[in-house]
Structure 1
C-alpha cells in the first residue's frame, strides 16, 4: 500500500506521546513493506507562510517525512498543500490523526475519491463542563458538526476506546485498537547492555531501588500524587530513589514537594524517545498514578487514553503500579503484572509501591509477566499488523 498519513501539529521525531505514536505506526507499517508519506511538524508552533507553500521533505526511519510547521489550531490552513501532496503521491488510502481543527487529510481524500481512516485518540465531543465545548455551543456547534462530518467521511475509525466517538456514528465503523510499546527497543537489559546512562542524564545511585514515573506532568497523570506517595515512603524510612522523566505544567509543584527530601528525587526533564529505554531499565518499579478527577472528559467517556507509559514499563520488565480503573485494570491485572490501588488514594499508592519494595522476588516475577504480556498483546508490531488488515479491508471495500 501507499499511505498518506497526516499528524497535524505533532512533532516527529519528538518527546510527546503523539510523536511516539505517529513514529511507531509509520515505522511499523513501512517495515511491513508499505510506502508511507507522513505529514507532521518538525517542532511545535508556526513556521511562517513558507510552511504553507511546500513541506520540507526527507527520508526518516524508513518512510517519507514531510515537515509542515503549522500550529494544530491552524491545521486546516494546510488543506491546499495536502491536496497537492496527495495528487503527487497518489496514495491508496489516507490516514489522519483527528484533532478539532484538523481535517485536511479527510478533505483531500473526499476531493480525490480516496478511502480514508480516522485515528481518534481523545474524546471528539467534549463534555459540557469543558470550556472549549461551551464556546462551541455558544457559536451554534460548528466544531461538533465538523467533527461529525469527518467521522462520516471516514470509512473506518480506529481508537483505543469506542466511547471517544459520538453515538451518532455507527458502532460497526469503529474499531478499538490500543497503542503499544516497541518491545525491541524497550527491554529489561537496555541499561545493562550499554552500562551507560541515557545521554545527558545521570542514573541514581545503584544502592537503592529506583521507582520511576514517565510521562506528561499534567494533573490527570497524577504526578503530584506520585511525589506525595514517595514522601510517605521516605518518611517511613524506606531507602529508595525516585526518578521522574518528562515535563509539563505540574513540574514546578512536583519539584517543590520533592525539595523536602534532598537527593531522593531526580527530574530529567523532557527526554528524547530513543533515550527512554535506558532510563527505564535502570528502575525497579514503574508507576502510572492516573487520576481522572481533573479531567472531565475521562470521567464522562471512560479512560480512553491508551497508556503508553504502562506499555513501556511492561516492555522494560518492570512491575507496574497503577490506578484500578478500566481499561488499565485489564492491561495490568492485580498481583500478576503489578499492583492496583483505588484511584486518587495516595496512601494506597504508597502501600502498593511498598509491597513491591518489600518483596523484590515477587516484583521481579510480576515484571517478567508484564514483559511477556506486552510482547504478546500490546506491541507496536502487533498494532501495525492489525492496522494493516484494517487498511487493506478498507481499500478492498
Structure 2
C-alpha cells in the first residue's frame, strides 16, 4: 500500500496541524509515502532529510485548484498510490473525486478544530458536505468536535477518532528546564508556564489578570508565557501598566525541539482557553495540556471545546471557568499551596498520556484507518 498525502500544513512551517501530520508520517514505512505540499521558508533543507519524497507546489497556500489536482493525479499514477490522506480535509478534500478517478481506492480526510466553524455557517457547510461525500472516512480529534461535525456530516461519510499524540520520549519528566530558568531569570521560586500562540482564545490575558492574586499568596512565583503571536504587544503593555514586569516573562517564539525544556521549567501548566465568536473560534483538543502532563506537570485548562478531554479533572489537573481571573488564580494557587498534591497530579498525567495519548497508540490507529 502506498499513500499520497496532500497537505497545506507541513513542516518546516510551525503549527499544531503541521506537527500532527509530520508525526503521523514519521511512523509510517517510508516507502509507503509520497507527499504533495506547499512551500514555506526552509523547505528544501527539511525535505532533503526526509526518507520519503515530497513534492512542493510553488505556492505558500495549497488549494484545490486544477493545477494541484493535476500534480496530485500525476503522483498517484507515478507512484502507484492506492490510498490518499488529506492532512486537513477542508478544503483539499475537494480533490478526492479526481484522485478516485485516477485509481485511489481509499480516501481519508482529517479534521481538527476549525471545521466545527465551517459546519456552523450555511455556505461553508455546503462545502463540507461536498468534501465529506467524496471521502471514505473523515476523522475527528475529540468527542467535542465529533458532536459538532456529526449532525451535518455523519450521513455522508464514515467517521472515526484520530487524535494527535505526544512524543513521550521527548516530553518527559526527565526534561531539564534549568537552562530556561537561568536564561529568563526565573529564580528558585515556583513557575507557572503557558505554551501556546499568543491569541485571545488561549487566555494569556486572563492569566496576566489573575497573576496579582497568585502573587499575593506566592510572591516569589513567576509566570512564563512561551510563544509569539498577535496578542504579544497588548500583553506586554498590560504587564508594564500593572507593574508585573518582574514576575511575568514572555519568551517569544520557541523552536519545537526546545519546547520540552520550557515545559520542564515550570511547576504548573496553565492555559485558560475560551470559546469566542459565537463558537466559531474554539479549542479542538489542546495538545499542550497533554505535552505538559507528559512532562509531569499538573495542568489548569479552560472549558473551550475539546480542552476538558485533555484533562482528567481533579486527577491530572483542573478545568476552570476561563473568563474568570478569580477561578484561574484559585486553581493555580491551590496547586502551588500543595506541591505534593501537584506532583501526584503530574505523575497521574504522565501515566495517562503514556497509556492513551502516545504516538505509538495513535500511529496504530492511523494505520488501521488507512487500511480500512
Scaled by the length of structure 1, the TM-score of the pair is: 0.82
Partner residue in 1 for 2:138: 157
The 1:75–1:124 alpha-carbon spacing in structure 2 relative to 1, beyond 3 Å, is: same
Q: For residues 217 and 69 of structure 1, what CA distance do their matches in structure 2 show?
A: 29
Partner residue in 2 for 1:80: 70
Partner residue in 1 for 2:212: 231
Q: For residues 36 and 273 of structure 1, what CA distance do their matches in structure 2 show?
A: 24
Equivalent of 1:333 in 305, 312, 324: 312
Q: For residues 295 and 191 of structure 1, what CA distance do their matches in structure 2 show?
A: 40
CA RMSD of aligned residues (A): 2.9
Q: CA deviation at 1:205?
A: 2.8
Matched, 1:348 2:327: yes
Asked if the contact 2:90–2:131 (Cα under 8 Å) also holds between the matched residues in 1, the reply is no
Q: For residues 295 and 11 of structure 1, what CA distance do their matches in structure 2 show?
A: 29
Asked if the contact 1:203–1:282 (Cα under 8 Å) also holds between the matched residues in 2, the reply is no
Asked if the contact 1:220–1:294 (Cα under 8 Å) also holds between the matched residues in 2, the reply is no
Partner residue in 2 for 1:27: 26
Matched, 1:371 2:362: no
1:225-279: CA deviation from partner (whole Å, max 9, x where unpaired): 1111123322555311111111222121111122221221221212111111111
Scaled by the length of structure 2, the TM-score of the pair is: 0.87
Partner residue in 2 for 1:249: 230
The 1:167–1:378 alpha-carbon spacing in structure 2 relative to 1, beyond 3 Å, is: same
Partner residue in 2 for 1:50: none
Q: For residues 269 and 326 of structure 2, what CA distance do their matches in structure 1 show?
A: 17
The 1:217–1:205 alpha-carbon spacing in structure 2 relative to 1, beyond 3 Å, is: closer
Partner residue in 2 for 1:176: 161
Asked if the contact 1:219–1:294 (Cα under 8 Å) also holds between the matched residues in 2, the reply is no
Q: For residues 123 and 11 of structure 1, what CA distance do their matches in structure 2 show?
A: 17
What residue ranges of structure 2 are gaps of 5+ in the alignment?
Answer: none
1:145-203: CA deviation from partner (whole Å, max 9, x where unpaired): 332122111101111132343634336701122222111111112216xx6449xx924
Q: CA deviation at 1:326?
A: 6.1
Matched, 1:271 2:270: no
Asked if the contact 2:264–2:295 (Cα under 8 Å) also holds between the matched residues in 1, the reply is yes
What residue ranges of structure 1 are gaps of 5+ in the alignment?
Answer: 48-54
Q: CA deviation at 1:39?
A: 2.6
Partner residue in 2 for 1:63: 52
Matched, 1:217 2:198: yes
Task: Give aligned pairs, total.
Answer: 364
1:116-147: CA deviation from partner (whole Å, max 9, x where unpaired): 0010113436379x8xx4xxx6xxx4x44332
Q: CA deviation at 1:81?
A: 1.9
The farther-off stretch of 63-72 and 331-340 is 63-72
The 1:350–1:337 alpha-carbon spacing in structure 2 relative to 1, beyond 3 Å, is: same
Asked if the contact 1:231–1:258 (Cα under 8 Å) also holds between the matched residues in 2, the reply is no
Matched, 1:262 2:241: no
Q: For residues 248 and 283 of structure 2, what CA distance do their matches in structure 1 show?
A: 30
Matched, 1:91 2:70: no
| Pairs within 5 Å for 1:9-20 | 10-20=9-19
Q: CA deviation at 1:26?
A: 1.2
Matched, 1:124 2:115: yes
The 1:317–1:67 alpha-carbon spacing in structure 2 relative to 1, beyond 3 Å, is: farther
Q: For residues 68 and 80 of structure 1, what CA distance do their matches in structure 2 show?
A: 11
Asked if the contact 2:110–2:138 (Cα under 8 Å) also holds between the matched residues in 1, the reply is yes
The farther-off stretch of 343-352 and 322-331 is 322-331
Q: CA deviation at 1:99?
A: 5.4
The 1:389–1:73 alpha-carbon spacing in structure 2 relative to 1, beyond 3 Å, is: closer
The 1:65–1:381 alpha-carbon spacing in structure 2 relative to 1, beyond 3 Å, is: farther
Q: For residues 46 and 174 of structure 2, what CA distance do their matches in structure 1 show?
A: 35
